[in-house]
Structure 1
């Protein structure tokens, strides 16, 4: 039963390297993988194979998705098409708070990264409300982007959970019949909370970029259209594979944004996507090392009978989020641990909710998004905790409660 202590020690090790020394998550996670594996008594050569296999698995699952989403985002930013998209959203929803929240919520899905969605929408918010009044809108945009990112398939925070724990699931898209309405409900609750507690200033509509709407929206909409066609027509079912659909969206973006935006956007997007993928591969390596040892069985034996089985994914995801700061890392590693433990059958959507809720609980100093939001809002640390960390934790608790209720209903 020493492995739970090794696991806690690894989390502290990751937290110290991440927060105090600001070391790259990839280096931190790979170091933690070696440290944990060696202390558990693994042969270094075998340990290296496990680390390589875990990293390669994540690259296989997420590599194309992340590259395409991030490059699309950078091309949209360079071309100015993102201004048109946000302007159109503001024309539909009218209320400026809704524009920020729904904008973040929508953009994080096709862009495959909540951080990237926030970086795109934040300058537009600042231009329309000014530096003095931007903070409430930025907070709601940030949390809105996280809600869809942790809940809706095929986000990189959901895909590893599905592929690891529910590989035999015939149609993972069907999960969205439950997850999308719930994500929408949590977004509505966030918007209501912001209006009640926040100081919202009048906002002018953002100025459109002048680009045709079809060109602006085509890279965002085309992947979803292709997925729908693939799900409806069996002969072209391969189009429903998200990597295929997003690659098609990338090609559409390359055609519509123009030569200069295409060249600069692809160059910047490739660099940023590389950083993200290295971090994700580090998460895959760390999760693989833990899953290959006795920790999953030990932790399951330790908590069996003391807490409800449905709570374990929530606790694991929260602990991993606190240590690594990455929602994808926490979700994917939790899934690997549960799979290795032979976790008892839980309704898929309920398990996704529990992991998602846990990954929202401790978004503090180890969370890169925390510092990103602090930089854009200009608030002090306590202001970011009050307006970002605590509301997001509240959303996490609600998501976890929804998972428990769903599991109870499903039997």
Structure 2
């Protein structure tokens, strides 16, 4: 019980540093790891080694993916190709809410960051419907980008769960046979909700843009998934199914297609932004490793299992960590580290496990969530408006995702 009390205090500490003082997540999480470890009775030298090991593990898994995705995003923005991509989506979708939702949902995948996808698509939405009318559609794009980000492999929010909790899974891509349909259903529910909120405006959306080659615009987005698919189908090139390799190829395609100026500036700006993201993620890895190395995993399992089904523990942990850290990747990675050390934790169907963690990470997207403030800045709404249009709808989706995990668990015969 002692480690549970320490953990609760550390969550409050993270929340205060994040919300009140706006301290860098890396500094917050590394300091939280040290404080937790010392209070839990760890030797400082051993504690330091654990922090370094946890940070290194996250860097090893996510560094290439995040760097490639962010640099592709910055090159697409600098070249203006993002306008062409969204325009193509709008020509097919015919309504601004569908364009915003499907655009955010799609772009979050190859760019490996829902925040980056939103920053790219938000100015295009404002240009499409007018800045004064853009607020409802910005909320749609933000929530849609989170849906695909927390649910679909190989997102950075899903990969740590696979690596830590499901290392023996022969083909992690196979889980997408379950995860993608759930993500699509969540998107459809969001768009139905959006049509009710916006009145279902039916008008073809056109964005005034420069003439760009659609092949060049779409090539960096499509290449990683095309190569990954070929790698899964053709044994001789199976190495392409490693998403870091596929994304690196997408980066090379982007560097060729966007031109010298967009390439140079995009790589420069993307490297800086990717570095910030990776430091935050490495802080999460360090924090999770320190917690997982102690008695907390067993204590929280024993504490919870007596009052609620153990199946809900991933959901609750992810929600608590999301409330404290504000990062969906942090909450997923740390939850996975904690559960991996709970030796008595029951067998949960892999897809159900991912869904429970994903659902929990959507539950408390409030002031500690950097995305909350990003959406507030773009919409210009008051805090209560962002809560009503971003935090609460996303929590509703999180509940449905978690419920989907329970259904899959039951249908798979694990309960």
Q: Given the two structures, how large is their TM-score scaled by the length of structure 1?
A: 0.99
Greater shift, 128-137 or 255-264, is seen at: 128-137
* Partner in structure 1 of residue 411 of structure 2: 409
Residue 332 of structure 1, CA deviation:
0.5
In the other structure, the counterpart of 1:366 is 368
SS of the aligned residue for 1:110 comes to: helix
Give 2:108's aligned residue: 108
Mapping of 1:37-116 within 5 angstroms? 37-116=37-116
Residue 203 (structure 1) shift: 6.7
CA distance in 2, matches of 1:23, 1:209: 40
Asked whether the 8 Å contact 1:97–1:137 carries over to 2, the reply is yes
What is the aligned partner in structure 2 of residue 385 from structure 1? 387
In structure 2, how many angstroms separate the alpha carbons of the residues matched to 1:227 and 1:209? 31
Distance 1:208 1:366 in 2: 36
CA RMSD of aligned residues (A): 0.9
User: Could you give the per-residue CA deviations for residues 174-224 of structure 1, whole angstroms, max 9, x where no partner exists?
Assistant: 000011011000000000011112356667422343111000000000001
Tell me the distance in 2 between the aligned counterparts of 1:25 and 1:297: 27
Match of 1:221 in 2: 222
Given that 1:136 and 1:199 are in contact with CA atoms closer than 8 Å, whether structure 2 keeps it comes out as no
**Where does structure 1 lack aligned partners over 5 or more consecutive residues?**
none
The answer to whether the Cα contact below 8 Å between 2:34 and 2:47 also exists between their aligned partners in 1 is yes
Q: Which residue of 1 aligns with 2:263?
A: 262
The alpha-carbon deviation at position 94 of structure 1 amounts to 1.2
Distance across 2 between alignment mates of 1:168 and 1:45: 31
- What do residues 23-49 of structure 1 show as CA deviations (whole Å, max 9, x unaligned)? 000000000000000000100010000
**Alignment of structure 1 residues 264-303 onto 2, 5 Å:** 264-303=265-304
Query: SS of the counterpart of 1:108?
Result: helix
The aligned residue for residue 332 of structure 1 is: 333
In the alignment, is residue 396 of structure 1 matched against residue 398 of structure 2? yes
* Alignment partners' CA distance in 2, 1:407 and 1:209: 50
Contact 1:136–1:200 (CA under 8 A) maintained in structure 2: no
Post-superposition offset of 1:120: 0.1
Aligned runs of 1:151-166 on 2, under 5 Å? 151-166=151-166
Cα distance in 1 for residues equivalent to 2:356 and 2:183: 13
Work out the number of aligned pairs and report it.
411
Q: What is the DSSP-based 3-state SS (H/G/I as helix, E as strand, rest coil) of the residue aligned with 1:22?
A: coil
Contact 2:91 / 2:204 at 8 angstroms: preserved in 1? no
8 Å contact kept, 1:314–1:354: yes
Q: What does residue 359 of structure 2 align with?
A: 357
Q: Distance in 2 between matches of 1:301 and 1:145?
A: 36
Q: Distance in 1 between matches of 2:397 and 2:208?
A: 32
Aligned mates of 2:198, 2:94 — CA distance in 1 = 18
The residue number in structure 2 matching 1:238 is 239
Instruction: Give the match for residue 197 of structure 1.
Output: 197
Deviates more, 1:334-343 or 1:149-158: 334-343
Cα 1:145–1:53 shift into 2, 3 Å: same
Could you tell me how far apart the structure 2 residues matched to 1:286 and 1:238 are?
A: 32
Choose which of 346, 349, 352 in structure 2 pairs with 1:347. Answer: 349
SS of the residue corresponding to residue 344 of structure 1 reads coil
Distance 2:200 2:67 in 1: 36
**CA separation in 1, counterparts of 2:301 and 2:83?**
49
User: 2:171 & 2:93 partners in 1: Cα distance?
Assistant: 32
Q: How far does the alpha carbon of each residue in 1:256-289 deviate from its partner, in whole angstroms, 9 at most, with x for none?
A: 0000000000000000000000000000000000
TM-score normalised over the length of structure 2: 0.98
* Deviation of the 1:122 alpha carbon: 0.2
Task: Answer whether contact 1:87 1:207 (CA < 8 A) is retained.
Answer: no
Q: Is the 8 A contact 1:133 1:200 kept in 2?
A: no
Any conservation in 1 of the 2:228–2:240 contact (CA below 8 Å)? yes
After TM superposition, the structure 1 = structure 2 runs for residues 133-148 of structure 1, keeping only pairs within 5 Å, are 133-148=133-148
Contact 2:76–2:258 (Cα < 8 Å) also in 1 = yes
How far apart, in 2, do the equivalents of 1:119 and 1:15 lie?
Answer: 25
